[in-house]
Chains A and B, each alone.
Chain A
Amino acid sequence: MTATVVTGIGVIAPTGLGTERHWANTVAGRGAIGRVTAFDPGGYSSRLAGEVTGFRAGDHLPGRLLPQTDGLTRLSLVAAEWALRDAAMDPPALPEYGIGVVTASTAGGFEFGQRELEKLWSKGPQHVSAYQSFAWFYAVNTGQISIRHGLRGPNGVLVTDQAGGLDAVAQARRRVRDGTAAMVCGALDGSPCPWGWVARLATGQVSRAEDAARAYLPFDADAAGYVPGDGGALLVLESAAGARARGVHSWYGEVAGYATTFDPPPGSARPPALRRAIEDALADAGLAATDIDVVFADGAGVPERDRAEAAALRAVFGPRGVPVTVPKTMTGRLGAGGSALDLATALLALRHGVIPPTVNVARPVPGYDLDLVTRTRRQPLTAALVVARGHGGFNSAMVLRGGHGDTDRD
């Protein structure tokens, strides 16, 4: 089977608009968490977020798309355009039905939804937007990307909370393997509005810290919750043979392995299933644990979940057996967008031979026995593992193999 490779990346994240700025800030360890500006957070118990800043949709999208889109769809449309451009892909030049789209969503376009709910309940049904029937729902980004670029291949949408970014890319890999020329895949997430905010706060897992540098501390002794954020990444996937056939001879790397599992119900005596997801992803890639040079961990920032993830990593890689990093500490957790962004960051890490840091974590829990990368580390990297976990028990793991293209094995 020919390798499924990533030939394009589009990033919009708190760390920057565009892949280059995101990577530069990430390597430099510049955190982008701050006080919420999308609405006044003063009355809420949590006030910090990783927001995308400096993005003006009107600079990138035709005006007619603005009234019919939530903020997360605007981010998605622009990231898709950047990813296709990065891949030097001209959709009309590919076979009919040759490109599809698979995105993941955590909660849809909730800000749009809150505005329309407000109109309905304060003014009446006649005031609800004609766009409400699709602007907030979970399939909107796939649909809008498909329409904007004329992509008529197999489309899909997966919802598995934060694991979704990996699951969407895995689904896209299936489509490439059964003959679709190329897939746009991944996720951008986050729809900053008070309604979505209180829904997140209800979990009790959002950090109440006031200091951005002390708010989201995965694997730290002071871990006390996470910080939500917006953004993510979209990737262009195709077969190495297909890339070559259209004259593209370099790429970011290969989606080499994937697996997903689900935890037993709360309170069950059965063991958690994350370890199996990691082991199965390695087996799918045909790699041993010792072949993995770096792990991009989920890093929940909630002690119980950190402990479980550390135990799974220890079981697979041994104590301090592999460098582990959580660049999400700079952005907050972006839902499905966060795991997609981790894929993009991991591909860039493989390309540049740089492990970006886990910032702000000063006191890693000794018992976790992780080689947590708290300062940027430069070393040759050939394979990375990305782990993502979603609320309720979703575990996904994806193995990426580096490589610049035709100088490598296929």
Chain B
Amino acid sequence: MKRRVVVTGIGVVAPGGTGAKQFWDLISTGRTATRRITFFDPSPFRSQIAAECDFDPAAEGLSPQQIRRTDRAAQLAVVSTREGLVDSGLDLERLDPARTGVTVGTAVGCTMGLEEEYVTVSDGGRHWLVSEEYAVRHLFNYLVPSSLAAEVAWVVGAEGPVSVVSTGCTSGLDAVGHAVELIAEGAADVMVAGATDAPISPITVACFDAIRATTARNDEPATASRPFDRTRDGFVLGEGAAMFVLEDLEHARRRGASVYAEVAGFATRANAYHMTGLRPDGIEMAEAIRVSMERARVVAADIDYVNAHGSGTVQNDRHETAAFKRVLREQAYRTPVSSIKSMIGHSLGAIGSLEIAACALAMRYGIVPPTANLHEADPECDLDYVPVVPRERRVDTVLTVGSGFGGFQSAMLLARPDRRIA
């Protein structure tokens, strides 16, 4: 019998504020944190909007050396890890390092640091044979995103399994799924897992411009992210991190921990179709959902809320609407579905973990966050997307899904542990 795994701590850095409370206050009231890019001059770019974090690593207590050796993605992960550990009430002094691990999801790793340093060593793109002399000492940490997991492991004191999971935009779900599996199989008792991405840099903005994946609604930054709306024209790039303390259920019970949710089921499938394209039928996402429900022993009628990938691209929103209908059948029409990307944008690999945080908080507070900026749905998107206004509702079981470049399709079920028969 595999062990059951629960979430006992949540830490978040998201656009709109640092901390899980600020994150929840924003998404549970339907406000948005998308704006014109301030990190660099976005005027040469097609898409000039992003959901940026107002994040000051020094003010968050990182030491000068930590700041010097780390990329922003690592800083977001470290700060959210600290909050998650405090929230869990774990006594780090009493943790067995060998039984404690870390998994960090990321799509693009230390891309901001890499680009900044590239500009220096290439002298603004002038030299293919870039300068060794101008390379900073910690450049290798930016090159290898495994450094993100190392930084988190040092904060936690973890000496068990430590890894980065990097499956593009499903990284945030897959990283937590991986950590859950490690606890379930007995490789660890406690895992600190989640995801981080800080991709708001010229190269990332330019690469999404090139395939017109991001919105060009530059005159309306606050309402530019419009999942499922008829007028949607692409996603809004975001950044952030969410890190969780995950524990063996018995470990959590023994120490009297407060439990947000059990991670009851997880599965991932590949569409084997196209690196960036999606077939409209959503078959593989439906299969991932079906398998995760089977593993969680949940039927469609049990699901109180579906947290959608809802990126706001034309193809994604139709793809996953089809997937929900394919597996949930008529129940798909009776279940609230929403996308928090309408408020905090799409932070690539991090968003899956931010969405898990949203689900766990929805369970705790009995509120389904809305899909902001949804005024007139695409006729092909005909489910209940909780437009604009948050909804009070008891949430015991949640489905959250992700879809990413490379064809990755992932699904996770969160449930109240006391509601399931052990």
**Interface residues of A, Cβ cutoff 8 Å to B:** 39-40, 43-45, 68, 97, 100-101, 105-108, 110, 113-114, 116-125, 128-130, 132-134, 137-140, 142-144, 146-147, 149-161, 164, 167, 171, 174, 194-196, 198-203, 259-265, 270, 273, 276, 390-394
Contacts and interface: CB of A to CB of B under 8 A. Distances in A.
Contacts of B146: 106, 159-161, 164, 390-392, 394
Contact of A198 (B119, B130, B154, B406): B130
Given A152-B272, A159-B166, A391 B140 contact: yes
Contacts of A121: 118-119, 122, 124-125, 202
A194 B128 contact: yes
Nearest to A390: B146
A11 B406 CA distance: 23
A121 B114 CA distance: 13
30 contacts: A39-B128, A39-B129, A97-B269, A113-B114, A120-B202, A121-B119, A124-B44, A129-B207, A129-B210, A132-B203, A133-B213, A134-B276, A134-B405, A138-B107, A143-B168, A146-B406, A154-B270, A155-B407, A157-B166, A159-B166, A161-B146, A174-B181, A174-B185, A198-B131, A198-B139, A202-B137, A202-B140, A261-B160, A262-B160, A265-B157
B135 A155 contact: no
B129 A147 contact: no
Given A137-B405, A150-B272, A198-B121, A167 B163 contact: yes
Given A147-B273, A198-B121, A394-B146, A128 B206 contact: yes
B270 A157 contact: no
Nearest to B268: A154
A256 to B, nearest CB: 16
Contacts of B97: 264, 270
Contact of B287 (A97, A133, A147, A155): A97
Nearest to B202: A120
Contacts of A157: 165-167
B161 A158 contact: no
B143 A196 contact: yes
Interface in B264-289: 267-276, 284, 287
B207 A132 contact: yes
B95 interface: no
A139 B128 contact: no
B144 A391 contact: yes
A392 B272 CA distance: 34
Contacts of B185: 174
Interface residues of B, number: 86
A140 B132 contact: no
Given A142-B406, A143-B405, A156-B165, A132 B210 contact: yes
Nearest to B267: A154
Q: Which 4 A-B pairs have the closest CB atoms?
A: A143-B406, A121-B125, A392-B150, A122-B125
Contacts of A101: 270
Contacts of B101: 262
A-side binding surface: helix, strand, loop or mixed? Answer: mixed
Contacts of A203: 140
A151 B144 contact: no
Nearest to B155: A265
Contacts of B267: 154
B153 interface: yes
Contacts of A194: 128-130
Given A43-B129, A157-B165, A132 B206 contact: yes
A196 B142 CA distance: 10
Given A133-B405, A160-B164, A262-B160, A118 B270 contact: no
Contacts of A202: 135-140
Contact of B45 (A125, A143, A265): A125
B149 to A, nearest CB: 7
B183 to A, nearest CB: 13
A198 B129 CA distance: 9
B205 interface: yes
A140 B406 contact: yes
Given A118-B125, A134-B275, A156 B211 contact: no
A130 B211 contact: yes
Contacts of B268: 154-156
A297 B33 CA distance: 50
B208 interface: yes
A264 to B, nearest CB: 6
Contacts of B154: 265
B129 A262 contact: no
Given A159-B163, A160-B162, A202-B140, A128 B207 contact: yes
A259 B163 CA distance: 13
A97 B284 CA distance: 9
Contacts of A43: 129, 132
B90 to A, nearest CB: 18
Given A43-B129, A123-B125, A142-B406, 17 more contacts: A116-B203, A121-B125, A124-B44, A132-B207, A134-B405, A147-B274, A155-B270, A156-B165, A159-B145, A159-B163, A174-B181, A174-B185, A202-B140, A262-B158, A262-B160, A276-B98, A392-B141
Nearest to A129: B210
A327 B98 CA distance: 30
B159 interface: yes
Contacts of B405: 133-134, 137, 139, 143
A43 B127 CA distance: 12
Contact of A152 (B143, B167, B271): B271
Contact of A262 (B109, B135, B161, B205): B161
